[in-house]
Each structure stands twice: as C-alpha cells, then as structure tokens.
Structure 1
Amino acid sequence: MTGARTREKSGQTEAWRFEVHGTVQGVGFRPFVYRLASACGVRGDVRNSGGVVVITAVGEGPVLDDFAARLVVEAPAAASVTGVTATRLGDSPVPAGFAVLRSAAEGAATRDIPPDLATCEPCLRELFDPGDRRYRYPFVNCTACGPRATIIAALPYDRARTTMRGFAMCPACEADYRDPADRRFHAEPIACPECGPRLAWYPGGQRDEEALTAAAAAIREGGVVAVKGIGGYQLICDGTDPRAVERLRAAKGRAAKPLAVMVPDKAAACALADVTTADLDALTSPARPIVLAPRGRRPQGSLAPQVCDGLPDVGVFLPYSPLHHLLLRDLARPLVVTSGNHAGGPMMIEDDAVRRRLGPDVDGVLSHDRPILARYDDSVVRVVAGRPSTVRRARGLAPAPLPLPAAAPEPVLALGGQLKHTFTVANGRRAIIGPHTGDLADAETLAAFEHSLERCLRVEDVEPAYVAHDLHPEYLSSKHAARWPADRRIPVQHHHAHVAATAAEHGVTGPFLGVAYDGLGLGDDGTLWGGEILLATYTGYRRLGRFSHAPLCGGATAVRRPARMALGYLFGAEPLDQRGPDTKLAADLLARLPEREVAVARRMIDRGVNSPLSSSAGRLFDALAALLGICDDNRYEGEAAMQLEAAARQQDTVDPLFWRLVRRGGLWVYDGAATLRDALTARADGEPPARIAAAFHQTLAAVTAELCNRVAADVGVGTVCLSGGVFQNRTLATAVLGALDEAGFEAFLGERVPVNDGGISYGQAAIASARLAGAMERG
C-alpha cells in the first residue's frame, strides 16, 4: 500500500481515502466494500471514479488497518487488485453509516475492463428453479457473473454506460439492486423477464420461451441454428448427428479442421475426453475456455466423426451463459458450438448482417435485443506438461491486463502480425491484449480489428504515442502502422517478439535464450525465418542458431501445399557438406504428384524463381508429412503438422532420427535435410510412418537442447523462452521442455499469452516499451 497510514492513538477516529487499482469495476467490488465496511463498523462511502474504486473510510485506527488489509485479501474472485493508495483526510463530518455513491468519470487512473464471467452456481440454481421469478430466463446474472467486456461502452462501470442502459429496471429488480444483502446489489446487468432482454426466433417471430423451444426443435431435428451469444453469433448443431455437422461445415465454409463441442458438465466432458486435473481446472474456471484434450479411449460412439476431423484431440467446453445452459438441458446431447462467420471472416455481431448473410444457410436465428459492443470469440487452452497454455486469448481471458517488464514512458499501440491477429495497448506497466480477431487477410477482418481497437482506446481512455509493428511490409497490420509518422513507428522482428512475449509473461529480467519455431517471419536479413535460436533482451537480440534453409517453391503455394515444400528439400536443401534427401527414396511422393508440377518446381528452384529461402521449423514439419504420405495439402493452417503429431502419438518411446549441427556464418545450424534423408531411409526399410513421426519429434527435442547447450557455452545464459506456433504441438513442447530441464536449463513456455501469432503484439509491446524507456534514460 502506498501512502501508508500512520497509526494515531488507539481509539481515536480517523478519516482516510483509499483508491483501489486493478480490475475492480464490473466484478462486484463496490458491493463487497459495502459489506466489508458494515462488518468492520467502518463508516463512509464507496464509488467508481475513472478506472479505480474510491473509498472514504472513517473509524478507529486498528479497525481501518483491518479494513484496508481485507480489501486485498478478501476481494471478489473475479477482481485483481494491483495496488491501494491511502490518503489522510482532514476534519470532516462523520457519516452515520456507509453508502454506495453514484460513479464519477473524472480521474486519469488506468482502466481495467473486466472479462465476461461464466454463470455462477447461485444463478444456475435460480435458472432451473420453477419457483424463482427468473426461472428459465436466459439473461440471469449477478455481481459474480455475466457479461462485462462485451457490454461496456465506457468506464466507470455503471448501467448507463453499458448496453443495458436501454432496459429500465422493474420494481423487483430495482429492489434487488438497492438491497445491500442481495447478491445483485449494484449488479449493473441485472435483469428479469419483466424488464430485461428478450429472445426472438427468426423467421417465425416467436419470442422468449417459444423462441427457445423453436431453436431447440430445429437443432433436435438435425438443423443448424445461428445463436446470438455473449460476444457474437455462434453456429450450433447436434454434435452426434453426422449430417448436421456436415451442414454446419457447409454453412460456415469450413470443410475441414476440428470443431468445438459444448457439454453440460464435467462428467460429460470426462466421457468425451481423457481430461487431467489441470484440464478440469481450466474447464471450470470463470473463463470457461475450450480445452483441447485427447479423445477418450472408448468414445461412446456419441460424437459424429466429422467433429474432430480425424485428429486425436477434441475441443470440449462447458456452458458459460444461461442460454447455453438452457439449450443443453433441453437437448441433452453434446452440441457443436462454433463462431458464427464464414471461414476466414470475423465473428458476426450485427443482427441484420447475420440474417442477411447466414440466414439462407441455417434453419433459423435465435437472437435477442441486447446489443453486443465488442466481438469476443471463445478462448482456447491446451494443457502442456501440466500447465495451461493459451491457444486463443479471447472471451473470459481478454482484456485482463498483463504486466510489462519495463514501463512504457508514453502509451504504445502494438499491432501484431497477420495470422491469429491481436493488438496490444501498453500504458505504463500494464498491457491490454485485445481480443482475437482472426487472420488479418481482407478488408472485412481489417475493419473488425479497427472497430475493436477504436473501442478499446476509447474505453481505456488512451491515446497511443507510438506504434510497434512487424517487419513484413505486406502485412495489413504493417500497412496500418504506415499511417503513422516515421519517427513514431517502432519495427520489431517477428521472432524477437515471439520470445519476448514468453519472457515478459514470466517476468524474466536478464538476457535469455529465445527458441522461436513457427511457420514464417521476415528476418532482419531479408530471408524468411522460423527455426531460430536467439540471445535476447527486451531491447535487442542476436541470432546464434537456426534450422537449415530450403526454398519455398511458389512462395505461399508451398505454405498451402506441403508436397511442394517437400520438393523444396528434395531439390534445393541448403548444402551443408552432406547429401540431402535422395529423390529415389522419395519415389512414392514423386509418383503421386503431376509430372509437370515436379518439373516446373525443379526449374523454379534451380533458377531461384519465386522460391525464397526459409529456415522454418513449421515448413520442415510440412515436408516430412508429405514425404511420409500423411498430408500433401493443407486444408487449413497447420494441418500437416497436426496430422504428423497425431501419427506420432500412436507410438510409445522411440529413438531419434539422425541429426547433426554444423557451423556456418558464425551460427549453429541444424541440418534438417539430413534428418529427412534418415526418415526416408527408415521408411524404405519398412518403418511405419507413425513411428518415424514419433522419432522426428524426439529428434527436434534433442536438437533444441543441444543447440541451447552450444550457444549457452558461448554466452553463459541458462534461461530459455520458447515460442512460435510450432510449440502448440503438445508432443513436441512436452519433449523439448523435458530435454531442456534434463540439460539444466530453466525453460518457459507461454501460458497466458499464446505462443502462436496471437502473442506477437504483446511481445512487440514489451520490446517497444523497453526501448522507449531505455532511450529516455539515456536522453
């Protein structure tokens, strides 16, 4: 506590002003303060002011000491108190009791927007209690649960500054709202069937319970329904009906890629997946994310095979809104629940747009009249080595603030990359990562990003002074940054941002080794990187190791077509004093491909035409997947690598393939081509592809540990930060963490921040803030 209280004589009445900072609005903090003050015998008042909670507290010294301490240790579960300041007040009238005052907008304090909160148990009991006036009301909530980030228009957090401002409270709700003993005391989204939002069914026009009945009937009969959720529309169908799942895929335009399944409770989740204690902890957290877990060994034949698209994991999650609970109770089956959009586009939030664009492809739209101000897809988490690792940071997790290793002297906007796009706003010691936007690939997604950014800056009341961006000039995020004056732009190398994000999240302070394995990122030498070992701080880095080069024959075509990447290694692998893969050993691949494609690809590689060199770990996965006949074409990003991991998980312990490190240009270089040659030799000797895939994962773990060993011997650094989309691979990440631990390194993997490109903006923010802070110190 800053401005700490000095103790007056025992028994003497004192008056103090406390300012509580952090995520303290929208989480039931004022009602908590009221109840605490009443319990302690403290008089005064509490109000929201700007981004903080301000308390006037009058009482005896020891009582105020106890009150101040309990403000932090007994705060509501959804709150995050980052600091309390205390200021002595002069003589003033002594209040008779304690009051909750009207909020004030003044003050320049930082403003933390609370994430949306899953429906709490007391509200669930009311939802299914026939004797309760909120029985089966799809918008039941209280101070401990309900929408927050998706309905807040401005802070301080009051009903008038949310999308609930259009719903006047009925006398019963008004009484609950004013009653200090009620858990809805100052619950801003409070509502009931008499005064709150209402459901509507399109095209029939039914309302409320009849609308819900119509939607459930459509799903039960094999239909696909667009449902207005907390942060946007969702497409929902029966997860046990193969034809319904196929229809949903057609409506969404997603022919492949696994779909998430919502189930009513933990027991149902355990029936579908082999979940660990860590998985259950994530599933039942207030964020209620999708959790990626291995499918059960005896999948009760209930899920349609199209849901998981042949992969061994299932994305399972629990209902987080009353509407989801009602649908699951009425339908009594797993439901596919996925974002309401056409593949590649942003999640839809506008009612008219959904009816116009999704309406023709679905059997109905279940809507309601509470507007959605912010687009929030569902968060996704995977447990790696017993720790949760965020794959997509969205509803329930964003926009909770994260710390920065160096305070930004002036606000910074970090624009991220191109895929799995997020932005980050750095303000002082805190960073706000915006919600997942999707792949920033077209005007529609760019507009969704700009809308989300404008809202975040308005609610946070921040005007950035600098912009951080990726080096790649063709990213739409980089083009957005180009609108800024040159002296206000801070370019950040892609992989430096990746590893800095992991380091910043875990509070790493000194230099560290950064291991960045991903698909592609523009290096500072103009080539495409993706298998990198860096010696890094937050202000700079030095490249110490890499994977060997191979050409991306056809550029983006090689990303979409792993078979083309395999040709790159066959015909153009970096010469490192040892032969690469033998084309005779790759006869199966060459026989599958059109002769013309092979011939054209070889000429392009030989002549260096549209065949940029890349050191990408992700593209090495692609090449092996094609060489083993596992995947020739990616129907979605990362499919080949996911299929290769799926094959590897069919095997138990295996030995690594052949690998070697060589010294080139002052760097340690892993010869990926030599490993591919050994993989093809093993295949020719009769080894099954699954066993070779497992050996490949072990190979990369051994390679990573040895690369770190060799560079650590030169630079004397024992901390390793792992990042990049390749580390979404649970099998690889677990093996690498184990190998590094055995080698004596302290290794970190992203947990709250995605290791994929969804974490790039946070890394950029950490780097830009540190550079600006350093420049200020030097200046």
Structure 2
Amino acid sequence: MHRVKVIIYGVVQGVGFRPFIYQLAQKHRLGGCVTNTSTGVEIEVEGEEEDIEAFLKDISTKSPPLALINSIKTYPLTPLGEEAFLIKESQVYAHRSTLISPDVCICEDCLRELFDKNDRRYRYPFINCTNCGPRYTIIDDIPYDRANTSMRKFPMCKECAAEYNNPKSRRFHAQPNACFQCGPKVFLYDKEKRPIFCNDPILETIKLLKKGFIVAIKGLGGFHLAVDAENSESVMKLRKKKPRKGKPFAIMSKDLNAISQYANISQADRELLTSFQRPIVIVPKKEPNTLAEGIAPGIKNFGVMLPYTPLHYLLMEREFLALVMTSGNISEEPICIKNDEAFSKLKGIADYFLIHDRDILQRSDDSVCQIINEKVRLIRRSRGYVPLPIFFDRDLPQVLACGALEKNTICLTKENKAFISQHIGDLENLESLQFFEHVISHLKRILEIEPEIVAYDLHPQYLSTKWALEQKGIKLIGVQHHHAHILSCLAENGDFSKVIGLALDGTGYGEDGRLWGSEVLVVDKASYKRLAHLAYRPLPGGEKAIKEPWRMAISYLYPIYGRKLLELSLPLKEVIEKKKIEKIIYMIEHDINCPLSSGLGRLFDAVSAMLGIKYYIDYSAQAAIELEMCQEETDEGYEFFIDTKEMPWKIDPNPVISAIVEDLRRGVSRGIICGKFHKGIVNILVRICNLAREKTGLKKVALSGGVFQNAYLLTQMENRLKELGFVVYSHSQVPCNDGGISLGQAMKIALLS
C-alpha cells in the first residue's frame, strides 16, 4: 500500500473540484481525504501504486470544466490503512495562494431545471450549482466557503443542505446553493421606493418594460438600466435621463437566433457570445433592423450579449427581441451595487426597480470584446474574467500597480502571477476613487499580497498617481505611460526580449512634460528609447480640445495656412462661429493654454472635425470611432513626411492635412477621404517599422494603445508587418487601451528586479 499527499494549485475552489476528487477516489478504490485550503486543494490518498497513478492522471485529464490547474505537487506519506475517502472542512493556512473562479453564466443543467415545471426550482431566479453562478462578486474572503460570501445570511433548508452535503450531487458544496424556501428573493418597487405587490415581480417587470418604462435591474455585478430595445421612445427617454447623448448602449437577447435578426455574427462571435464569461461582443449591424436607431447612433456595430443569470433568462423568455442593458450608474460614477444606493442615485432615471436581497460584494461591470483579425480582443476585462491571473514562467516581486486615469484597473503581482482587477473606470471623482481603494484592499486581502513597491503613471494630475504618492513607508516607482503599454503587450505574449514598440493613443504623460501618444519606441525590458513620434501640435484649451475636436482641426490647419484658414471652404465653418475660430487662432499664436501633444488620437479628432463628422464628442474617442465607421475602400493613401535628420524622428502630418483640404475642395466623398487617411496611417507606420529594423536590427514589433481598437488599423498593421517578415505581438486577453496599463507598470518593476 502507498499513501501520497497531493496539493493542487489553480482555480480549484467553487468549481466542483472536491466532489470530482471524491468520485475519482471511489473509482480507483482509494482511501483518504480532500479539503479546500487557502493555498488550493489538498488531497491525501492511500491504495495500490497503479491506482494512485491512474487517479493522478485523471485529475490532469478529466478535471471539471471550470477548473484551471496551475500545478500539481505530490509528497510520499506513511500509509495509515485508511479505506474510506472523506471530504473534510476547509483549512485556512497562514500562506494564501488559492485562485478564485470568476463569475460563471448559468449552465445547461440549471437552465433546463429553471424551465422544468416539475423541478422544485422551476423559475427560481437564483438557481445555480458547482458548475455555474456567482463567484467573485459574492466573496469577501477565502477560502471560498459560504461563510465568506454574501450567502451567509441565507441558512439552507433541509433539501438544499442535503444536496450541499451529498458528494454525488451537482450542488455538493455549491456555496450559493438555494431555493425559493431558503434563498434570495426578488422584489419590485417604484421609484419612490414603494413596493409593487404582485404574484411574480419578474412577469410584472416584463409588462412594465413592454409599456415603455425604464427599469433598474439588480444583476450579478451591479445594476443595469433596461428598456425595450425596439421602443425608440423609451431608448431616447433613457438617453435623456441618464444623460448619455451618444455613447452606444449594450443590448441583451435571449439567444443567437434573436441576435442574428439584427446583427451579422460569425462563428467566432457565436463561440464568444456563448462562452461561460458571456461578455458583450461588438458585432456588425444588419440593415435594415427593427431596433431603435438611438441604441448605437453614428456607428455600424452593436454591443450584444446573451443572458448570463437565471433572472436574465426569465426576463428574456418570450417578449423581447432585445433589451437595452446599460450600466446602472450616474455618468462618470461606478455602477450601483447596493439597493439603497440604486434607489438614491437612479430614481431620477428609472421608473421601477427590480431588486433582490443577495448582496453584491464586488462590483463588476460587463466585459467587452471584439473579434478582430480572427482573434478575441478584450476591450474591457471585468465580469467573467476577473480575478484570473496572467501566468509567467518566473516569480515576481509583490507589487501594486495603480494604473492610469481612464479605464482604470489595478494590478497586483505575487509568485508567478499578475492579477489585473476588474474595470474600475475613469478616476475622476470621489466615488470612483473609493471604488479604486476598495478593490486594492479586497484583492490584497484575498490574495494575501503585501506590496513591496507601488508603481504609478508619471502624469502628476492623475488621481491614481496622487494616491500612490501619498503612500508612506513603501518604495514608489513611476512608469512612463507608453512604456507600460508595450510591456503589457509583451507580458501577455510571454516575451520580454528587445522589440520595436508602437504605442498609439490619445494622451500619455511624456518624460519631457509634454503629452505623448504616437510613440515608436525601442523597448529593452525595463528601459526604452523614443525612436519616432508625430510632430507636436497644441491642444487649444487643454482638456477642452479633446472634448471639442473642431479645436484640434484648427490646431492642425494653422501651421499650414495661418490665418488664411479662415478663407478655406470647410464643413466646420458652417457650424462653428468665426469668432470662436479666431479665438482659437489667437490662443495658438500667443501660446495661451495650449499644451503640446503628439497624440495620434488627436489627429483622428482633427480629421473627423475637418470632414464634418464630429465637432463635439459625447464620450471618449467618439470622433475617431465615427471616422473609422465612415471609411470606404480605396487603393490610395495620403502621404506623411518623415524627418529622420535627428532622433527621435518626426512624422509630419502637414502633407496629409493639405491633401484632405484639397480633396474637400475637389468634392471627393467623405468616405474616400476617410479611407485614404486610414491607409496613409498604416503606410507611414509600416515604413517607420522598416526604418527601425534597418537601424536596430530588431524584427519583433509590439502593438499597443487605444488606437489599436480600430479594427482596420490593427488588421492592416498585423498583416502588412507579418508579410514583411516581422514577428508581431498584439493584445488579446489584456486590453490594448488603458485597462492594460497597470499590468505594464507591474512588469517594469518585475523587470527591474
């Protein structure tokens, strides 16, 4: 007889791992025990050597679908003559390294029971099992036991407890296990917090939505604001009340057949939509369609998702082609998670509230993805993906990286893992800063990380930077924004060798105190050299120039035409008063509140305004997004000039701006001008990569920054560079936008050590 201890590290709690081990032990005639610990799952098995070997093989090859095994370690023990196999209580050790599962969409078994009239959980909106349901959003400590979740206030009834304690049940140790008798319940209220008495709050909510009302619905990681997506009046009412003038709304449909009525979905889209993460997926609109035009104005895509909770499936069962399901928050604030908070903050928006009494402990927005160039690209990494780490082949120091200002995330590192937080959002007010602080303290606790170093962005005005610089008794290291972008891309691709890095975005604080954003870098681990960038142009009015792209148009026109730009025949002159244009010219001439920027995003803004697409924006990058949507296929590309006389090289946009003005004069269509502009951007970037290769001998290129959310640019850059023999790294599981900055910051510290 032999006895061994087996320690399994990875996502092995809350995924049905102990009953799986119990059944394997029974199958292979082994005695012993299994328990959850704060480092993973610990097993002791006793039996014949060949049975133990078969048992270990099955662990690796037949583990539950949601389990993620990082490593398995075995240690010989003295046999005890044990024949029975037991599941023991969880153990908490001083050292914690267990991985917690993200939240998982309802599984097929639970979905079948949800609509089975003979099942005791028929139409129960919180049905779940070990293979599905809430995880990260309901936990406040480890190990992942009911007492450490928001389910602790719901003692199980006799039947639920019997399932919970039966190793052969699908609900064995399913921590959120519950039913109508003992579990959470839903309630319907009006906006004055008066209860709506009815037999079924969900059926009543469906009626209210059909009548055109706005309903705040408490979900898995926060509240949604919902309206019928085919009701134009309701959609516009939601836009007005939120207020959210132009930013697209996410929509939910009950199945792929429904989505295919208004969107073109590829096989890759279908797989992503039905994955257990259930993200919002950006897909092309099908025209014509019956959805309200106000859902995604000015763009050719919808952001769609499938239901991921039983409550969603009950809402979507039969009445709606799609529901708008947008974040339940006041603009610029985090999504609401508490009932009282929702009543207080959303009563000016929602007519009714469908709430429940299972507390959300960890706020988590819907994740957002797009398939670009046949690859999944995460735009917002949150619910369904967090808190799974990025794994490395070496141990990292314990670091807290504070991220950027927009699309903020934080990152904590420990052992061979980097944990990127859920989407925190734009750090622009006290509420978002408090959320930022909560995420840091929560992840530090459940991961047991006490950072030795804090990394931060160099921009002195970022709230994340200010917070970092206030930390006492700990080493603080600033990381340049675009260097962090490239390091995040290299981290995801597992290669930190020397590369040419293209970090393209709107704004990032440069080491010269200017605003960078079109950076061609040579990145060598923890150091970088600036090889090329777009020529600087002023931002007239600073932040205002980002929100009013017409100002950037003047900024780019002025170096070529001076005051004669007032004589040009441009669409913007029909909308923007001459006095306003003259004021901007005066500011540029006298350098009044005109910080300099090399941001590529600002050039997109300028061209968008020159073409009359967007003079003012309602959300980040709107002008650039609508410019991308406008482009038509063309073989021609505008030609930039590149000055290579001194380092760093300067990309001169003047020839492109002049050519656009000339094409407008000649009556060339807006779509063709957009196409020529995009092609010109690709051509100059490819040319610079070639020049960089000639100068440095480097053949690897890393692409990062929010500009690479532009599907055309990313696809063209990847394909063209590969054709020229480059090895091209881009993002997939980590956002290319500022949501990935925290990972890059953490990587700089790891590389320094």
Q: TM-score when scaled to structure 1?
A: 0.94
| Aligned counterpart, 2:679 | 698
Write the distance in 2 (CA, Å) between the matches of 1:357 and 1:592: 36
Q: Match of 2:344, SS?
A: helix
Identify the range of structure 1 (625-634 vs 318-327) with the bigger mean alpha-carbon deviation: 625-634
Shift of 1:63: 1.7
Shift of 1:206: 4.7
Asked if the contact 2:563–2:585 (Cα under 8 Å) also holds between the matched residues in 1, the reply is: no
| Aligned counterpart, 1:253 | 243
Asked if the contact 2:3–2:44 (Cα under 8 Å) also holds between the matched residues in 1, the reply is: yes
Write the distance in 1 (CA, Å) between the matches of 2:563 and 2:157: 75
Q: Match of 1:137, SS?
A: coil
Q: Does 1:185 align with 2:166?
A: no
| Aligned counterpart, 2:721 | 740
User: Among 649, 662, 666, which residue is 1:685 paired with?
Assistant: 666
Q: Does 1:565 align with 2:555?
A: no
Shift of 1:487: 6.1
User: Among 415, 436, 451, which residue is 2:402 paired with?
Assistant: 415
| Aligned counterpart, 1:134 | 121
Shift of 1:635: 1.2
Write the distance in 1 (CA, Å) between the matches of 2:458 and 2:391: 24
Write the distance in 2 (CA, Å) between the matches of 1:443 and 1:148: 27
| Aligned counterpart, 1:149 | 136
User: Among 427, 431, 443, which residue is 1:444 paired with?
Assistant: 431
Write the distance in 2 (CA, Å) between the matches of 1:503 and 1:236: 39
Q: Does 1:210 align with 2:161?
A: no
Shift of 1:659: 2.2
| Aligned counterpart, 1:403 | 391
| Aligned counterpart, 2:52 | 64
Shift of 1:250: 2.7
Which residue identity does 2:501 align to in structure 1? G
Asked if the contact 1:199–1:207 (Cα under 8 Å) also holds between the matched residues in 2, the reply is: no
Write the distance in 1 (CA, Å) between the matches of 2:60 and 2:245: 50
Which residue identity does 2:670 align to in structure 1? P
Show CA shifts across 1:436-476 (max 9, x none).
01110011111111112211111112211211000001000
Shift of 1:406: 5.2
Q: Does 1:749 align with 2:737?
A: no
Write the distance in 2 (CA, Å) between the matches of 1:757 and 1:30: 38
User: Among 634, 655, 677, which residue is 1:674 paired with?
Assistant: 655
Shift of 1:581: 10
Write the distance in 1 (CA, Å) between the matches of 2:187 and 2:114: 19
Write the distance in 2 (CA, Å) between the matches of 1:488 and 1:209: 59
Q: Does 1:380 align with 2:368?
A: yes
Asked if the contact 2:569–2:665 (Cα under 8 Å) also holds between the matched residues in 1, the reply is: no
Q: Does 1:347 align with 2:335?
A: yes
User: Among 467, 488, 491, which residue is 2:475 paired with?
Assistant: 488
Q: Does 1:311 align with 2:299?
A: yes
Write the distance in 2 (CA, Å) between the matches of 1:155 and 1:424: 19
Write the distance in 2 (CA, Å) between the matches of 1:66 and 1:126: 34
Q: Does 1:42 align with 2:30?
A: yes
User: Among 202, 212, 221, which residue is 2:211 paired with?
Assistant: 221
Which residue identity does 2:5 align to in structure 1? R
Show CA shifts across 1:396-418 (max 9, x none).
01111112475323x11000000
| Aligned counterpart, 1:636 | 619
Q: Does 1:236 align with 2:226?
A: yes
Note closer, same or farther for the CA distance 1:609–1:673 as it changes in structure 2 (3 Å cut): same
Write the distance in 1 (CA, Å) between the matches of 2:670 and 2:534: 23
Q: Match of 1:271, SS?
A: coil
| Aligned counterpart, 1:7 | none
Which residue identity does 1:219 align to in structure 2? L
Show CA shifts across 1:330-374 (max 9, x none).
433300001100111110011111112212431211111111100
Q: Does 1:765 align with 2:752?
A: no
Identify the range of structure 1 (453-462 vs 621-630) with the bigger mean alpha-carbon deviation: 453-462
| Aligned counterpart, 2:40 | 52
- The aligned length equals 750
Shift of 1:282: 1.0
Show CA shifts across 1:646-686 (max 9, x none).
101xx234321122222153122222222121122122122
Shift of 1:547: 1.2
User: Among 479, 486, 493, which residue is 1:506 paired with?
Assistant: 493
Q: Match of 2:293, SS?
A: coil
User: Among 445, 448, 461, which residue is 1:461 paired with?
Assistant: 448
Write the distance in 2 (CA, Å) between the matches of 1:580 and 1:538: 46
Write the distance in 1 (CA, Å) between the matches of 2:364 and 2:445: 17
Asked if the contact 2:163–2:172 (Cα under 8 Å) also holds between the matched residues in 1, the reply is: yes
Shift of 1:583: 6.0
Asked if the contact 1:546–1:669 (Cα under 8 Å) also holds between the matched residues in 2, the reply is: yes
Alignment RMSD: 1.8
Write the distance in 1 (CA, Å) between the matches of 2:616 and 2:696: 41
| Aligned counterpart, 2:642 | 661
Write the distance in 1 (CA, Å) between the matches of 2:199 and 2:735: 39
Shift of 1:537: 2.8
User: Among 491, 508, 516, which residue is 2:503 paired with?
Assistant: 516
Which residue identity does 1:745 align to in structure 2? F
| Aligned counterpart, 2:583 | 600
| Aligned counterpart, 2:610 | 627
Q: Match of 1:720, SS?
A: strand
Write the distance in 1 (CA, Å) between the matches of 2:198 and 2:7: 43
User: Among 711, 726, 729, which residue is 2:710 paired with?
Assistant: 729
Write the distance in 2 (CA, Å) between the matches of 1:671 and 1:507: 34
Q: Match of 1:272, SS?
A: coil
Write the distance in 1 (CA, Å) between the matches of 2:438 and 2:650: 43
| Aligned counterpart, 2:73 | 85
Write the distance in 2 (CA, Å) between the matches of 1:472 and 1:586: 39
Q: Match of 2:617, SS?
A: coil
Write the distance in 2 (CA, Å) between the matches of 1:726 and 1:385: 15
Q: TM-score when scaled to structure 2?
A: 0.97
Segments of 5+ residues of structure 1 without an aligned counterpart are 1-12, 774-779
Which residue identity does 2:455 align to in structure 1? A
Asked if the contact 2:498–2:698 (Cα under 8 Å) also holds between the matched residues in 1, the reply is: yes
Asked if the contact 2:19–2:168 (Cα under 8 Å) also holds between the matched residues in 1, the reply is: no
Segments of 5+ residues of structure 2 without an aligned counterpart are none
Asked if the contact 2:452–2:474 (Cα under 8 Å) also holds between the matched residues in 1, the reply is: no
Percent same amino acid among aligned pairs? 38
Q: Match of 2:54, SS?
A: helix
Shift of 1:700: 1.1
Shift of 1:591: 4.5
Show CA shifts across 1:127-164 (max 9, x none).
00111000000000001100000011211111111111
Write the distance in 1 (CA, Å) between the matches of 2:86 and 2:473: 51
Shift of 1:216: 1.4
Q: Match of 1:306, SS?
A: helix
Write the distance in 1 (CA, Å) between the matches of 2:563 and 2:375: 38
Q: Does 1:292 align with 2:292?
A: no
Write the distance in 1 (CA, Å) between the matches of 2:424 and 2:582: 40
Shift of 1:749: 1.6
Q: Does 1:164 align with 2:151?
A: yes
Identify the range of structure 1 (414-423 vs 507-516) with the bigger mean alpha-carbon deviation: 507-516
Write the distance in 2 (CA, Å) between the matches of 1:444 and 1:706: 45
Asked if the contact 2:570–2:664 (Cα under 8 Å) also holds between the matched residues in 1, the reply is: no
Which residue identity does 1:100 align to in structure 2? I
Q: Does 1:356 align with 2:344?
A: yes
Asked if the contact 1:569–1:580 (Cα under 8 Å) also holds between the matched residues in 2, the reply is: no
Identify the range of structure 1 (714-723 vs 592-601) with the bigger mean alpha-carbon deviation: 592-601
Shift of 1:275: 1.2
| Aligned counterpart, 1:278 | 268
Write the distance in 2 (CA, Å) between the matches of 1:665 and 1:517: 21
Note closer, same or farther for the CA distance 1:689–1:338 as it changes in structure 2 (3 Å cut): same
Write the distance in 2 (CA, Å) between the matches of 1:284 and 1:581: 56
Asked if the contact 1:440–1:476 (Cα under 8 Å) also holds between the matched residues in 2, the reply is: yes
Asked if the contact 2:614–2:623 (Cα under 8 Å) also holds between the matched residues in 1, the reply is: yes
Identify the range of structure 1 (635-644 vs 170-179) with the bigger mean alpha-carbon deviation: 170-179
